[in-house]
Structure 1
Amino acid sequence: MDFPSYLGTMPMHAITEIHGEPGLLERFRLEIGTFDDDARARLSEALDLAADLHRDDRRVREPYLNHLLRVAIRMMHHYQVRDVDVIVAGLLHDAVEDHPAALAGPVAEGVDPVPAALAVLADRFGHRVARLVAAVTNPSWDPDRDRHVQYREHVAASLERDPWARVIKISDFTDNGVGVIHTTGPKVLSLARKYRPLVPILRELVARPDTPLAPAVKEHISAQLDLAEERFRAILDNPVRAH
């Protein structure tokens, strides 16, 4: 497939709409082209694993891999991240949460596959990658608690401890939050209710001095959070129209 010469500067939503997964894969290859051979090999291995684990997953009207590619591309291009562990963890940030058994392999009946899945990541990509993925992996839902409240408390606590996990989570959130306009049906309201209370939490965490991003990047993220909040407000203030 032929891609335009300006693919490397196209907005990701435009690449998604016009070129789909092949376009995002090509953009990913362009982004990692400036890394050394070892880094490219690690990033390609992580991409292959993500593609395999999520091969049957869909995200509304697109392959789930598109979301993972956008998270990684956003960190490299917009956040200026050159830390390979962080980008690898971004590609695999949903692997343990969504497919722990497939990643872990056979485990004894009744045994939680999550620790084994994290151990596999540690073995293949290093303990730091596994720790970052663990930080952005949601725990099992406690049926005695409100699902969204539990989610927000987990996010706040895990990101408090790990500044680099904040970078992964904010890219994930941006794709989910700003991208909520690409979701249809009753899920739009559910997502807006889930994500809107996270905006001030993420805004405060990103602004902290220990969050390893340049001031200009933090300003860019702040603008994205403003846009997400604007979209959440429009959806929740007009629930009938959101359907």
Structure 2
Amino acid sequence: MAPRMLLSMPLHAITEVFGEAGLRDRFNLEIESLPDGDRRQLEDALELASQLHADDRRVREPYLNHLLRVAIRIVRYYGIQDVDVLTAALLHDAVEDHPAELAGLSPALGHQKLTDAALEELARRYNPRVAGLVSAVTNPEYDPGRDRHEQYRTHVADSLEHDPWARVIKVSDFTDNGLGVIHTTDDKARSSAIKYRPLVPKLRELVRRPDTPLSQAVKDHILDQLDLAEERFAAILDG
């Protein structure tokens, strides 16, 4: 595939036609103009994400595809070349899904100890800012006595309140999950719509804030994407 054609393709089209290899090629094209040190950090983060999520799947695809799309969207469509933000985007599920492997510790240690150790490892391997960004988008251990989706939405609102750069990662993550409901099975689409639909108004409000570090054109683009995601949720749940 010619680079110019690959750069022009929507991310889910690359996924359907070329799979993980195509998304890797697209990511490399997106970061090729970055300084050598930034590229090395991102290559290392992608390798780490590949190792941690090697056996993970998202219904029909390797989990790594989701992480690649989240990072590519940030650099291409949001115009962000901040290496720490892109590193955190690639690793945004690492602490939540694989804290023991990341920290090199026994899973028997317990959730909070493993989470803290995994974040410390990210700070050591990269820097505290990367660890802080990943922490902001990492879901806590849920109280089994309360509604799981409600706890998720409360956590997202609270964690993004004072972390504008984490909003960038979460919005790209949400866009991939929300718009991506048409690329998955009926059961997964319905469960995703139930989980994500009530979060749309809060994300709109966060995106519109003056301290969210995105241009107005990008904010408008994201707001359009949120509208489209909401339409898809409605079609699934109300149609």
The TM-score normalised by the length of structure 2 is: 0.97
Corresponding residue of 1:213: 214
**Matched pairs, number:** 237
1:224-235 to structure 2, matched below 5 A, reads 224-235=225-236
Corresponding residue of 1:84: 83
1:156-171 to structure 2, matched below 5 A, reads 156-171=157-172
Residues 44 and 108 of structure 1, relative CA distance in 2, 3 Å threshold: closer
Question: What per-residue deviation string (whole Å, max 9, x for no partner) do you get for residues 40-59 of structure 1?
Answer: 00000000000010000001
Question: What per-residue deviation string (whole Å, max 9, x for no partner) do you get for residues 130-178 of structure 1?
Answer: 0000000000110111000000000000000100000000000000001
Corresponding residue of 1:192: 193
Corresponding residue of 2:13: 14
Corresponding residue of 1:241: none
The DSSP-based 3-state class of the residue aligned with 1:6 is helix
The DSSP-based 3-state class of the residue aligned with 2:88 is helix
Corresponding residue of 2:155: 154
Query: Does the aligned pair in 2 maintain the 1:3–1:23 contact within 8 Å?
Result: no
The Cα of 1:185 is off from its aligned counterpart by: 3.3
The DSSP-based 3-state class of the residue aligned with 2:64 is helix
Corresponding residue of 2:184: 183
Query: Does the aligned pair in 1 maintain the 2:45–2:91 contact within 8 Å?
Result: yes
- 2:46 matches 1:47: yes
CA RMSD of aligned residues (A): 1.1
AA aligned opposite 1:217: V
Q: Matches of 2:21 and 2:57 in 1, distance apart? A: 16
- 2:175 matches 1:174: yes
The DSSP-based 3-state class of the residue aligned with 2:161 is helix
The DSSP-based 3-state class of the residue aligned with 1:197 is helix
The Cα of 1:108 is off from its aligned counterpart by: 8.5
The Cα of 1:110 is off from its aligned counterpart by: 3.3
Query: Does the aligned pair in 2 maintain the 1:156–1:201 contact within 8 Å?
Result: yes
The Cα of 1:183 is off from its aligned counterpart by: 1.5
Q: Matches of 1:16 and 1:183 in 2, distance apart? A: 12
Q: Which ranges of 4 or more aligned residues in structure 1 deviate by more than 4 Å?
A: none
Unaligned runs of 5+ in 1: 239-243
Query: Does the aligned pair in 1 maintain the 2:100–2:107 contact within 8 Å?
Result: no
Q: Matches of 1:97 and 1:107 in 2, distance apart? A: 15
Identity, % of aligned positions: 66
Q: Matches of 1:224 and 1:106 in 2, distance apart? A: 40
AA aligned opposite 1:208: R
Query: Does the aligned pair in 1 maintain the 2:14–2:23 contact within 8 Å?
Result: yes
Unaligned runs of 5+ in 2: none
Residues 108 and 231 of structure 1, relative CA distance in 2, 3 Å threshold: closer
Question: What per-residue deviation string (whole Å, max 9, x for no partner) do you get for residues 41-96 of structure 1?
Answer: 00000000000100000011000000000000000000000111000000000000
The DSSP-based 3-state class of the residue aligned with 2:4 is coil
Q: Matches of 1:201 and 1:129 in 2, distance apart? A: 24
AA aligned opposite 1:113: L
Query: Does the aligned pair in 2 maintain the 1:135–1:159 contact within 8 Å?
Result: yes
The TM-score normalised by the length of structure 1 is: 0.95
The Cα of 1:106 is off from its aligned counterpart by: 2.0
1:67-146 to structure 2, matched below 5 A, reads 67-107=66-106, 109-111=108-110, 112-146=113-147
Q: Matches of 1:227 and 1:94 in 2, distance apart? A: 25
AA aligned opposite 1:31: E
